[in-house]
Structure 1
Amino acid sequence: MTYSDIPLAQTVVALCKAKGIQHIVISPGSRNAPLTIGFTENNFFKTYSIVDERSAAFFALGMAQQLQQPTAVVCTSGSALLNYYPAIAEAFYSDIPLVILSADRPPYRIDIGDGQTIRQDHVFERHILYSVNLKQDVRGDDQKVLNEGKNLPKLDKYINPTQLQKSIQGYNEDELNKAINTAFEEKGPVHINIPFEEPLYGMTDTQFVTPQVKQPEKSYERLSDESLQAYADIWNKAKKKMILVGVNPPNALEQQFLDIIAEDESVVVFTETTSNLHHHRFFPNIDKIIAPLEKIKDGVDYFKDLQPEILLTFGGMVVSKKIKAFLRKYQPEHHWHIDSKKAYDTFYCLKKHFKTTPNLFFELFFKLMKPQKSEYLQYWLKIKAKRSSAHKEYVTQIPYSDLKVYERILKNIPEQYQLHLSNSSTIRYAQLFQLNETLEVYCNRGTSGIDGSTSTAVGASVVSKKPVVFVTGDLSFFYDSNALWNTYLKSNFKIILINNGGGGIFRILPGHKDSKNFDKYFETIHKLNAKGICETHNIKYMVVDSEKDLTVALSGFYDDTSRPSLLEIFTPRTINDEILLNYFSFLGKNQ
Structure 2
Amino acid sequence: MNGPAEQTFHWAAALASGLAAAGVRRLVASPGSRSTPLTLAALRHPEIGVRMVVDERSAAFFALGLAKASGEPVALAATSGSAIANWLPAVVEADMARVPLILLSSDRPPELQDCGANQTMDQAGLFSTHVRKFFQLPPAEAETGWLANFAARMVAASRGPLPGPVHINVPLREPLVPSASIAVDETAGAPIPLTLPTHLQPTGETLNRISGIIGKGRGAIVCGSEALSDAARRAILDLARRLDVPVFADVLSGLRFGTQEPEILAHPDQVARSAPTPDWILRFGGTPVSKAVSTWMEKAHTKPQIVVSETPRLADPAGTASHVVTADVALVCAGLDAPAGPPEWRADIVALDSEAMRAADAVCDGDRVFEGALMRRLVRAVPPSTAIFLGNSLAVRAADWLAGRSASKLRVYGNRGVSGIDGNLSTAFGISAISENCVAVVGDLAFLHDLGALALGRDLPLAILLLDNGGGGIFDHLAQADLPEFETGWLTPQSLDHVAAARAFGLAAQDVDGLDEAMAAVNAALDRPGTTVIRATIGREKSLARFKTFFAAAAAPVTQGQTR
For normalisation by structure 2, the TM-score amounts to: 0.89
CA contact (8 A) 1:324 1:346 kept: no
Give distance in 2, aligned partners of 1:215 and 1:371.
Answer: 43
Match of 1:287 in 2: 269
Give distance in 1, aligned partners of 2:380 and 2:263.
Answer: 21
- Greater Rg by CA: 1
Number of residue pairs matched by the alignment: 540
Which of 167, 182, 192 is the aligned partner of 1:191? 167
Give distance in 1, aligned partners of 2:551 and 2:341.
Answer: 33
Give distance in 1, aligned partners of 2:539 and 2:132.
Answer: 44
CA contact (8 A) 2:29 2:53 kept: yes
Matched, 1:57 2:24: no
Q: Percent of aligned pairs with the same residue? A: 26
Match of 1:327 in 2: 297
TM-align CA RMSD: 2.6
CA contact (8 A) 1:185 1:216 kept: no
Matched, 1:539 2:539: no
Matched, 1:223 2:202: yes
Q: CA 1:385–1:135 in 2, change beyond 3 Å: closer, same or farther?
A: same
Task: State the Cα distance separating 1:102 from its structure 2 match.
Answer: 0.5
Task: State the Cα distance separating 1:260 from its structure 2 match.
Answer: 3.7
> SS of the residue aligned with 1:498?
strand
Moved more, 417-426 or 271-280: 271-280
Task: State the Cα distance separating 1:427 from its structure 2 match.
Answer: 0.4
Match of 1:27 in 2: 30
Q: How does 1:139-178 map to 2 (within 5 A)?
A: 175-178=150-153
Task: State the Cα distance separating 1:222 from its structure 2 match.
Answer: 4.2
Task: State the Cα distance separating 1:202 from its structure 2 match.
Answer: 1.8
Letter in 2 for 1:289: V
Query: Per-residue CA shift, 1:410-429, capped at 9, x if unaligned?
Result: 44333332111101000000
CA contact (8 A) 1:132 1:175 kept: no
Q: CA 1:107–1:181 in 2, change beyond 3 Å: closer, same or farther?
A: same
Matched, 1:419 2:388: yes
Give distance in 2, aligned partners of 1:135 and 1:488.
Answer: 39
Q: CA 1:582–1:311 in 2, change beyond 3 Å: closer, same or farther?
A: same
Query: Per-residue CA shift, 1:167-217, capped at 9, x if unaligned?
Result: xx5775564333221112332111111111111112444739824423337
Which of 109, 123, 127 is the aligned partner of 1:124? 127
Matched, 1:449 2:420: yes
Letter in 2 for 1:478: L
Letter in 2 for 1:468: C
Give distance in 1, aligned partners of 2:367 and 2:552.
Answer: 14
Match of 2:560 in 1: none
Give distance in 2, aligned partners of 1:504 and 1:254.
Answer: 32
> SS of the residue aligned with 2:528?
coil
Give distance in 1, aligned partners of 2:12 and 2:176.
Answer: 10
Query: Per-residue CA shift, 1:196-242, capped at 9, x if unaligned?
Result: 11111124447398244233377754433234222222222343344
Matched, 1:568 2:535: yes
Q: CA 1:361–1:407 in 2, change beyond 3 Å: closer, same or farther?
A: closer
Give distance in 2, aligned partners of 1:364 and 1:411.
Answer: 34
Task: State the Cα distance separating 1:556 from its structure 2 match.
Answer: 4.8
Q: CA 1:552–1:206 in 2, change beyond 3 Å: closer, same or farther?
A: closer
Q: CA 1:557–1:340 in 2, change beyond 3 Å: closer, same or farther?
A: closer
Q: CA 1:218–1:534 in 2, change beyond 3 Å: closer, same or farther?
A: closer
Task: State the Cα distance separating 1:49 from its structure 2 match.
Answer: 0.3
Match of 1:237 in 2: 216
Give distance in 1, aligned partners of 2:196 and 2:368.
Answer: 58
Q: How does 1:413-562 map to 2 (within 5 A)?
A: 413-431=382-400, 432-436=402-406, 437-464=408-435, 466-486=436-456, 489-491=459-461, 493-513=462-482, 515=484, 517-544=485-512, 546-547=513-514, 550-559=515-524, 560-562=527-529
Letter in 2 for 1:197: R
Query: Per-residue CA shift, 1:254-312, capped at 9, x if unaligned?
Result: 535513422423x2211011111143222132221123x3xxxxxxxx5xxx2222221
Letter in 2 for 1:463: I
Give distance in 2, aligned partners of 1:404 and 1:317.
Answer: 25
Give distance in 2, aligned partners of 1:439 and 1:172.
Answer: 40
Which runs of no fewer than 5 residues in structure 1 stay unpaired?
139-164, 294-301
Q: CA 1:243–1:586 in 2, change beyond 3 Å: closer, same or farther?
A: closer
Match of 2:561 in 1: none
CA contact (8 A) 1:489 1:564 kept: yes
> SS of the residue aligned with 2:174?
coil
Give distance in 2, aligned partners of 1:371 and 1:409.
Answer: 35
Matched, 1:353 2:320: no
Match of 1:141 in 2: none
Query: Per-residue CA shift, 1:64-120, capped at 9, x if unaligned?
Result: 111111011101100111111111111111111111111111123122111211111
Task: State the Cα distance separating 1:568 from its structure 2 match.
Answer: 0.7
CA contact (8 A) 1:309 1:332 kept: no
Give distance in 2, aligned partners of 1:564 and 1:217.
Answer: 37
Which runs of no fewer than 5 residues in structure 2 stay unpaired?
558-563
Matched, 1:586 2:553: yes
For normalisation by structure 1, the TM-score amounts to: 0.85
Give distance in 1, aligned partners of 2:519 and 2:342.
Answer: 47
> SS of the residue aligned with 2:364?
helix
Match of 1:85 in 2: 88
Which of 10, 15, 18 is the aligned partner of 1:12? 15
CA contact (8 A) 2:460 2:530 kept: yes
Give distance in 2, aligned partners of 1:316 and 1:479.
Answer: 26
Matched, 1:201 2:177: yes
> SS of the residue aligned with 2:252?
helix
Q: How does 1:393-408 map to 2 (within 5 A)?
A: 393-396=362-365, 400-408=369-377
Letter in 2 for 1:551: D
Q: CA 1:317–1:540 in 2, change beyond 3 Å: closer, same or farther?
A: same
Give distance in 2, aligned partners of 1:116 and 1:321.
Answer: 45
CA contact (8 A) 2:364 2:373 kept: yes
CA contact (8 A) 2:139 2:172 kept: yes
Give distance in 2, aligned partners of 1:526 and 1:425.
Answer: 17
CA contact (8 A) 2:18 2:188 kept: no
Q: CA 1:32–1:211 in 2, change beyond 3 Å: closer, same or farther?
A: farther
Give distance in 2, aligned partners of 1:418 and 1:356.
Answer: 27
Give distance in 1, aligned partners of 2:221 and 2:405.
Answer: 22
Match of 1:155 in 2: none
Give distance in 1, aligned partners of 2:295 and 2:218.
Answer: 22
Q: CA 1:573–1:230 in 2, change beyond 3 Å: closer, same or farther?
A: closer
CA contact (8 A) 2:145 2:189 kept: no
